[in-house]
Chains A and B, each alone.
Chain A
């Protein structure tokens, strides 16, 4: 069966520091991969999605970036974090277009 892993679960970072969040999927090949941010009491906001290695689409202009160095690895990065980057970050995968997306357990990011 397929599983998705995200780490770390919790992260506290100072303003201006870099960021790297990692997500890996097991048990499938060539998945669609997604990064979302969830603000308290609000719906999930899609940040990036990828349909293949090196293929990244950005949905929201921001100081975050994403990369997909391997088929089942998706990384969310920032060179300099802002206070507004605080939130709950979720990675998801789906087998293909129109199929349900399956989520990891998220990373709670706090910026001080």
Chain B
């Protein structure tokens, strides 16, 4: 069964304390992996797309990497404004432009 699992479910960091979020997937034929940020009461905001193993993308304090079985979202020296839920989603060859979403990681960064 095609599945996306994110860990941890929740993460509490001190400002400046770097960490990583994990997104593991079991799908037949990965066509793309997407990272989103979601603030409370809002729709997800697109961050990155990764298409092949070994690919990396960066934006400010965030860096996303992809292997054949998982993706990591690395957060370097986070600030309180990075607090949000981070979602990953997978596009697979069996579904036409249909994303499978993980349940997300709730990140809280405290000053």
Nearest opposing residue in chain B for A41, CB measure:
B103
- How many contacting A-B pairs (Cβ < 8 A)? 54
B42: interface (CB < 8 Å): yes
Does B43 contact A90, Cβ atoms closer than 8 Å? yes
Cβ A49 vs Cβ B98 within 8 A: yes
Query: Which residue of the partner chain B has the closest CB to A104?
Result: B43
Among A51, A96, A97: residue with most chain B CB under 10 A:
A97
Which residues does chain A contribute within 8 Å of B46, judged by CB atoms?
100-103
Minimum CB–CB distance from B80 to chain A (whole Å) comes to: 22
Chain B contact surface mostly:
strand
Closest B residue to A10 using CB positions: B41
Complex Cα distance, B4 from A43, in Å, reads 9
* B70-111 interface with A by 8 A CB criterion: 87, 89, 91, 96-104
Q: Which of B18-50 contact A (CB under 8 A)?
A: 31-32, 34, 36, 41-46, 49
Q: Is the CB of B42 within 8 A of A105?
A: yes
B-contact bits for A18-48, CB 8 A (1 contact / 0 none): 0000000000000010000000011111100
Other-chain residue from A59, A102, A104 in contact with B98 (beta carbon distance below 8 A): A59
Q: A43-B4, A97-B96, A98-B32 are in contact. Are A106 and B101 (CB under 8 A)?
A: no
Q: For the complex, is A94 an interface residue (Cβ under 8 Å from B)?
A: yes
Query: 17 more A-B contacts (CB under 8 A) besides A43-B103, A96-B97, A97-B97?
Result: A6-B43, A41-B103, A43-B100, A44-B44, A44-B87, A45-B101, A49-B98, A59-B98, A92-B43, A94-B97, A97-B96, A98-B97, A103-B44, A103-B45, A105-B41, A105-B42, A105-B43
Point out residues on B near A: beta carbons under 8 Å. Answer: 4, 31-32, 34, 36, 41-46, 49, 87, 89, 91, 96-104
Residues of A that sit less than 8 Å from B by CB: 6, 32, 41-46, 49, 51, 59, 90, 92, 94, 96-98, 100-106, 108
